Structure 1
């Protein structure tokens, strides 16, 4: 029965994430994303979504073919990156959405870098439909966390203290370099307003802070596993 429950979780979660990504293509903001250098993949949300969906697919396939041990191992080590990245995306996104939405959501129909203004009238923000928002910014973290606690083993001390920090630093170096390059190619416009509005040294601090949060989130989640 456990294998059936795992397959249901993996299949349903992967489908919801795919439908969320597909739905973005039909929204006006999808056209804006496609017009930018790097397209959708300059967004950490989309990269986290891909990692989470791949983890779900690998989990589903490894459940169907349990004798192929390499699939389960690949999924387990992909989750070392996917789980903390998805959790950090959810924490940052929903916190900023609730407290400072203009830092995470672009102005509606805006194609220019966001800049400070003395005007008392702020342009309307482009809020995603709730179902799409949840599929992009909640389902990856929730499904990976459920998968970890119910269908995965706790990570060993070596995996937590050696592999996890290397994975976190490696992914941060990749994404930080990639998004900085995209920002340069897009005339100083970054995928998220809070990056556009800050100078490079502050952005580097943000990348480092997110990496530290990612690593300690992974350690905390792993410590709760029994």
Structure 2
């Protein structure tokens, strides 16, 4: 009973935190309107794509928590369990990439990760648009809390993935996700004339390919490391 209560608590906090972060985007006023008016809207950002995957992990986990114990072994229960494990394989590596790229850049080179606030007109021709910073509570809900919450859920409440899964399927899934996002970001940029993240806009195509490949490889490494730490 205590274990079930802990599951419900973690999944409820996780779901509420991530929903709060996404809903908080509407508080950004004109900047939110400007982003939504672009092709792809907020879903240009890997952060938001990963956030929705994380939400699905938490909501699916909550559904499983609320199932009666007698339902274990049923088709619906087993299907939801397998679906959640697939979501974990997607959301956890993406959250690792988002946190590992976002926080170092936001602390050292914020202009490489923060979108310029084009809703504010420069006061003179020599002025340069400043990066738009979102409120801290929204920032933490989007970039700070999802990763640790997903790690806790995996280490505390999920079974360790098999060696075969880690060797064969995890890298293949990461490659599919990385390639899909790269193609999506590139396509959105052809419509908007710039990328959602300035460091991509500043980079040539070969450099962007290296960035996509490096992030994909890093996600596999982190996921394998977490699975290795799993007891």
TM-score range, shorter chain: over 0.9
Post-superposition CA distance 1:162-203 (Å, at most 9, x none): 11101100101110111100000112x110100111111111
Match of 2:229 in 1: 224
Shift of 1:222: 1.0
Match of 2:162 in 1: 156
Whether 1:39 aligns to 2:41 is yes
**Alignment TM-score, normalising by the size of structure 1:** 0.92
Match of 1:180 in 2: 186
Q: Name the SS of the counterpart of 1:26 in structure 2.
A: helix
**Alignment TM-score, normalising by the size of structure 2:** 0.90
Any stretches of 5+ residues in structure 1 without a counterpart?
Answer: 112-118
Q: Name the SS of the counterpart of 2:107 in structure 1.
A: helix
* Separation in structure 1 between the aligned mates of residue 119 and residue 16 of structure 2, nearest angstrom: 30
For these two proteins, the number of residue pairs brought into alignment is 218
Shift of 1:138: 1.5
Determine which structure has more spread, i.e. the larger CA radius of gyration.
Answer: 2
Any stretches of 5+ residues in structure 2 without a counterpart?
Answer: 72-76, 121-125
> Counterparts in 2 of 1:1-226, with a 5 A limit?
1-27=2-28, 28-65=30-67, 67=71, 68-109=77-118, 122-187=128-193, 189-226=194-231
* Separation in structure 2 between the aligned mates of residue 149 and residue 201 of structure 1, nearest angstrom: 37
* Separation in structure 1 between the aligned mates of residue 131 and residue 40 of structure 2, nearest angstrom: 22
Post-superposition CA distance 1:8-58 (Å, at most 9, x none): 111111111111111112203211210110111111000000000000101
* Aligned residues: CA RMSD: 1.6
* Separation in structure 1 between the aligned mates of residue 221 and residue 49 of structure 2, nearest angstrom: 20
Shift of 1:4: 1.2
* Separation in structure 2 between the aligned mates of residue 59 and residue 72 of structure 1, nearest angstrom: 8
Q: Name the SS of the counterpart of 1:93 in structure 2.
A: helix
Q: Which runs of 4+ in 1 moved over 3 A?
A: none
